Amino acid sequence: MTNAYVYDAALICEDCAQTVQGADGPYGDGGGEADCPQHCDMCGTFLDNPLTWDGYAYVADAIADGHGNPDVLALWRARYLSECTARLVTTADDIDGVCHAWSHIRAPMRTSVAQHATQGSNPYER
């Protein structure tokens, strides 16, 4: 996990923190557990933070909907899918139900590059 810094009430990465004066930190685990994946507010670098249960739901919805930057969604899938599935399986009574619920996430994303180009420049927009 990456260290994060706080500058003007925004999370930023270590590289960006070195370009400004007055950044607080470092804070381990990408700034800590959050309800969504954290990215540097200056450059968009993924901070690789742990997620709350709401955060896993947010990621699952984003991947299932296919809205947002395809590269960022693929990054979120690679980082969070196996961890989320493992947490669900260890707490679920019905493993088949869990597998069915998450099967739509494992399917390939259908968002095309052309669709992404029409959605704006925010690298992690939902």
Average pLDDT over residues 9-22: 97
pLDDT of residue 90: 55
Q: Which amino acid is at 71?
A: D
How far is the C-alpha of 43 from the C-alpha of 97, rounded, in Å? 39
Q: 51 with 32: CB under 8 angstroms?
A: no
Confidence of residue 117 (pLDDT cuts 50, 70, 90): very low
Unique residue bearing structure tokens 């259908």: 110
How far is the C-alpha of 105 from the C-alpha of 66, rounded, in Å? 10
7 compared with 63, residue with greater pLDDT: 7
Q: 4 with 38: CB under 8 angstroms?
A: yes
Instruction: Give pLDDT tens digits for 65-108.
Output: 888 899 999 999 999 887 766 665 555 444 455 455 555 554 44
Q: 18 with 6: CB under 8 angstroms?
A: no
| Predicted TM-score of the model (pTM) | 0.69
Q: Which amino acid is at 69?
A: N
Instruction: Give pLDDT tens digits for 22-42.
Output: 999 999 999 999 999 999 999
